Chain A
Amino acid sequence: MTTEVILKIAISGVLTGLVYGLMALGLSVIFGVVRVVNFAHGEMMTIAMYLVIVLFSALGLDPLIMLVPISAVLFALGYLMQRAIINPFINRPEHSQFMLLVAVAIVMVNGLLLIFGPDSQGITTAYSFDSFDLGGVIIDAGKVYAAIAALLVAVALFAFFRLTLTGKAIRACADNYHGALVVGLNVKQLYALTFGIGAACVGAAGTMLMIVTDVTPAIGPAYTLLAFVIVITGGLGSMPGAIVGGILIGLTEALGGFFFTPSAKTMFSFAILVLVLLFRPQGIMGRKTA
């Protein structure tokens, strides 16, 4: 095997991992603040992916242009979901929350099936079949654009949480729920905002993923599981952990598939998960809980 091929595989894994990381970032943000596990995460992403299909078919818009509007639509969806459905369950037992979101996921999968049918659907952009040749290392152009966009969204999100008052208020809620209430923060409003931001992340990730892959309604649960694997590996509630976890999983699957057997490449990401749970249960960048 030549160095160029191995390098190509590694770069491809990192690029894919960045988009996965953005998807998982949404899950991590929601869990880190609202403490609700979004079992409809992958399904929400498939909604974003189908929005890309619809807008691409109707208006011929490039996914890179659709990034902001689709993220906004998903933000609205997440915000409304939190206000209307999830808020009443905030103080209920965890299993009630799990079942609620599993039910929401089922509704989403079947709704998409009813509307779009079971066939795999994709888009072909002007650069869908393009690649860059960097001294014999061939890199998929679509993956490069998707990864750069994912990175920019992640940086914008970090900046939002670090630099804006609303971001700081959301972090305050995450750090000390009662303290946030005492100082007069509108926690319910901030929770809805957070869920909306998490949903906007999956909206952005779904839009970017459409550049590199197809979508079927049935793919949602697989993405949900992938997001869980990434956030547990990176560290629950840790935003940088989600990105690091995404890159690690993407890279592991790519190299594992190349050096061993491609049919078992997802096995390697689960092996990483098991190792993390055994030796660093809080995740690579997670904080230890008392």
Chain B
Amino acid sequence: MASKTRISRRTFTAGMGAAGIVAGTAPFNIISAQGAPLKVGVLLPRSGAQAGIGQDCQRGVDITAGILKDLNLPSLQIMNGDTETNVEVARARAERLINEGAQLLIGAFDSGQSTAIAQVAEQRGIPYVINIAAAPPITEQGYKFVFRNFPTAPTILSNAFENQIEIFKATGNAPKTAVFMHVNDTFGAAMQKGFTGIMGKYPETPYKVLETIAYDGTARDLSVEVAKAKATNAEALVMVSRLNDAILITRELIKQRWSPKAILSMGPGWYEDQYLKTLGKLGDGPMSFVPWYDPNKKLSKALETALAKAHPGLNMNTNHVYTFEALLIAADAYKRAGSADPKALADAIRATNIKDNVSPGPGIQFDAKGQNAALKNSAIQNRGGKLVTIAPASASNAKPQHPMTPYDKR
């Protein structure tokens, strides 16, 4: 008779490490081609905690080809890469895409992952256009091949305060106190760092922050965090979050019977379609101060039409707009460079001057650091499952509603 295998406690405990293998497994790495000459590696968090947002960015990729054709720009061959919401995986996937022939990289929604990709791109001499990532240091390294068409955290915050002041002046009603909750990742930490300093530059800001609460964005339960915020008795909730935590926090607000006068979000989550779909009328009210699009620009309407055709009922958002613009920059540079040579491409991107674009502001240009410093943010508000732009007045299509209707009165 075979002897029974016994597992000691020590072996069991040692085996726990194997669970980490599962956590770090790569679910997908699909490579597809659209039959165009410039090979663009699109790195996004397609799985892991940010998977939903990565997939949303992909929708921006999917609707780009037709618009580039209409603009008489060269088409792009898309090579998809999954960062798995993991910095080290992002680095490895960037290496792999370059090895497989990618001539330009775009991505990767998250500052930590984008930082890792930027290091690889610079080392390998391949141009990298960041679609979404706000941590300032990425374009402060003196990189020659890294470009960002997305505002840095300080710009997002400065514009947020400017827009808030404009909104509260317009409504004649402002919260006096606030509690600041932020996700504790690279983006959230950068935003938190900038928040206090930049707030000091805007003395007209009507509220003072009573407490700052950092939380884990992958947490399964945020009841403690919300209870702690509620205990401050603040009138407004200032948020820097992601999608899943935004939904969890809203649920907790309702369950803990706390209706702040205003929810002021300075990051993703609160305006995303899944948030609106999941919460229905309970999702109405939050204002988001985000890199957005100018609804009055011609290309914005073209992008909206393309998105509506591909995904009926979906609201256009930051993810679609800035991922599209990253590809627009790539195609425009490729056309002007007339070559896929990395240095020629990088030089062409540096000389970018696109006036016909989607994001608010004068257009797309890069400074010596590779940063588009002319971008402007907008303030948007959830209304009846849709998003309206409420500030700045020059790029808005609705008036702000403040204070928010309490959750128990909807």
Contact = CB atoms under 8 A, between A and B. Distances in A.
Contact of A130 (B48, B215, B221, B255): B255
Interface in A37-61: 37, 39, 43
A94 B28 CA distance: 29
Contacts of B224: 9, 12-13, 253-254, 257-258, 262, 265
Interface in B212-236: 213-216, 218-225, 227-228, 230-231
A118 B46 contact: yes
A162 interface: no
A35 interface: yes
A225 B24 CA distance: 13
B254 interface: yes
Contacts of B48: 118, 218
A142 B256 CA distance: 12
A130 B25 CA distance: 38
A262 B215 contact: yes
Nearest to B282: A129
A97 B215 CA distance: 36
A140 B337 CA distance: 60
Contacts of A130: 255
B54 A118 contact: yes
A138 to B, nearest CB: 6
A39 B19 contact: yes
B405 to A, nearest CB: 15
B208 interface: no
B220 A219 contact: yes
Nearest to A36: B7
Contacts, number: 178
A220 B22 contact: yes
Interface centre among A118, A131, A222, A277 (most CB of B within 10 A): A118
A277 B247 CA distance: 36
A195 to B, nearest CB: 15
A257 B228 CA distance: 9
Contacts of B4: 35, 90-91, 177-178
Interface stretch (A109-117, A150-158, A197-205, A239-247): A109-117
B394 interface: no
B278 interface: yes
Given A1-B231, A8-B227, A12-B223, A221 B2 contact: no
B13 interface: yes
A216 interface: yes
Contact of B18 (A102, A117, A281): A102
B7 A94 contact: yes
A265 B213 CA distance: 12
Nearest to A113: B27
Interface string A171-194: 000000110010000000000000
A266 B218 CA distance: 11
A109 B51 CA distance: 13
A263 interface: yes
Interface string A101-137: 0100110011001000111101010001111010000
B311 interface: no
Given A5-B231, A35-B7, A214 B218 contact: no
Interface centre among B47, B222, B224 (most CB of A within 10 A): B224
Interface of A is mostly: helix
B248 interface: yes
A232 B230 CA distance: 35
A233 B282 CA distance: 39
Given A5-B227, A258-B227, A266-B216, A224 B9 contact: no
B58 to A, nearest CB: 11
A120 B274 CA distance: 9
A255 to B, nearest CB: 8
Interface of A: 1-2, 5, 8-9, 12-13, 16, 31, 35-37, 39, 43, 90-95, 97-99, 102, 105-106, 109-110, 113, 117-120, 122, 124, 128-131, 133, 138, 140-142, 177-178, 181, 212-214, 216-222, 224-225, 228, 232, 236, 253-254, 257-258, 261-266, 277, 281-282, 289
30 contacts: A12-B227, A31-B7, A35-B5, A35-B6, A35-B7, A36-B7, A91-B4, A97-B5, A98-B18, A106-B25, A113-B28, A118-B48, A120-B244, A120-B247, A120-B274, A124-B278, A131-B255, A140-B255, A140-B256, A142-B255, A178-B4, A213-B248, A221-B19, A221-B23, A222-B218, A236-B9, A262-B219, A262-B224, A265-B224, A266-B216
Interface of B: 1-9, 11-13, 15-16, 18-23, 25, 27-28, 46-49, 51-52, 54-55, 85, 184, 213-216, 218-225, 227-228, 230-231, 243-244, 247-248, 251, 254-257, 274, 278, 282, 407
Given A90-B4, A120-B244, A177-B4, 15 more contacts: A12-B224, A39-B22, A91-B3, A118-B51, A119-B51, A120-B274, A129-B251, A138-B255, A218-B48, A218-B49, A225-B23, A228-B16, A254-B224, A264-B216, A265-B224
The 6 closest A-B pairs by CB, nearest first: A118-B51, A263-B184, A221-B23, A263-B214, A257-B224, A119-B52
